[in-house]
Amino acid sequence: MSGEDLNKLSVKLQIQEEIFGTELFQKIEGLNDLAETLNAVPLPQANKKVETQPKIEKVTPARSYIPEPSKAVLPQPAVTKFASVDATQFSKITSLTEFNELICECQKCPLGKTRNKFVFGSGNHNAKVMVVGEGPGADEDASGLPFVGRAGELLTKMMAAIGFSREEIFIANVVKCRPPGNRTPNDSEITECLPYLLKQIQLIKPVMILCAGTTAIQALMGRKGSLGSFRSQFYNLEDALVLATYHPAALIRNPEWKKPAWEDLKMFRSKYNELTGEIFEIKG
């Protein structure tokens, strides 16, 4: 092949890379060497696959949500009959059904007044995998079920792509009631609601937890940080390993994040295979 032909090929490949990503180039081994030999325009660098074992960071179970120092003084929870639903009462609860009955009329934070339905979470009570989102949106508020809107459809597909059906997993949110206008729940709302999620985790005892979005991973880790600072790393919580990825609603708004999200999902599934001995071959 002449240097000119190779230049043309290089330009084409760069365009393909923009469309399909760099994975394409992993399969064209030796082409860069050829470019060098002919002293032509170098081809785009293939993604180097570095097979490193991700570190597992141990975190203390997030018993309380830790706000940023600037927001350290939180409003005190309103005193209602549910203010007395404390950890002592939780300790007597041994099933999710019982737990839902105890908390489903919660009025501990202002979201209780504006919600239509309390969204406890749904799925397999003995799930090995839990997915944690931020909080109910309009569709979830209307139905009482988590992740049933557009983002929910995408989440279902994402989990199916790594071999998990909705029936076998349990899906819950950091806050159980819809924040008006789908805003992000504030620190005080998260502080009030997080014990519910932690109790759900203790009852279900999942092997792994996938956090969908920044709010979920921040709440479970008990600290602030960007999604990027949490991704690609497993954390211990209770007896589960936790991994963070993009929220499906963010993927709908930013389709270019689907590729890194897919890397997260593959990482999640291969760790799950390793921990459980179950095998699911991921395509792609």
**Residue showing the smallest CB distance to ligand URA in the complex:** 133
Least distance from ligand URA to the Cβ atom of residue 281, Å: 29
Least distance from ligand URA to the Cβ atom of residue 149, Å: 6
Nearer of residues 17 and 137 to ligand URA, judged by Cβ: 137
Nearer of residues 25 and 196 to ligand URA, judged by Cβ: 196
Nearer of residues 151 and 198 to ligand URA, judged by Cβ: 151
CB 228 within 8 A of CB 147: no
Least distance from ligand URA to the Cβ atom of residue 6, Å: 48
Nearer of residues 147 and 234 to ligand URA, judged by Cβ: 147
Tokens of 39: 């002293």
* Residue from 282, 264, 225, 281 nearest 59 by CA: 225
How far is it, in rounded angstroms, from Cα 49 to Cα 71?
A: 42
Nearer of residues 40 and 242 to ligand URA, judged by Cβ: 242
Least distance from ligand URA to the Cβ atom of residue 152, Å: 6
Q: How far is CA 225 from CA 64, 183, 218, in A?
A: 16, 18, 7
Least distance from ligand URA to the Cβ atom of residue 154, Å: 10
Nearer of residues 135 and 195 to ligand URA, judged by Cβ: 135
Measured in degrees and rounded to the nearest 5, phi and psi for residue 270 equal -70, -30
Sheet holding 122-123, edge to edge: 56-58, 234-237, 240-245, 208-212, 129-133, 170-173, 122-123
Measured in degrees and rounded to the nearest 5, phi and psi for residue 81 equal -65, -25
Least distance from ligand URA to the Cβ atom of residue 257, Å: 16
Least distance from ligand URA to the Cβ atom of residue 276, Å: 26
Chain positions contacting ligand URA, by CB under 6 A? 133-137, 140, 146-147, 151-152, 173, 249
Q: How far is CA 58 from CA 52, 179, 231, 278, in A?
A: 18, 31, 15, 24
Nearer of residues 83 and 250 to ligand URA, judged by Cβ: 250
* β 122-123/208-212 pair status: unpaired
How far is it, in rounded angstroms, from Cα 236 to Cα 57?
A: 6
* Residue from 55, 175, 54, 41 nearest 110 by CA: 175
Least distance from ligand URA to the Cβ atom of residue 253, Å: 13
How far is it, in rounded angstroms, from Cα 178 to Cα 193?
A: 12
Nearer of residues 145 and 162 to ligand URA, judged by Cβ: 145
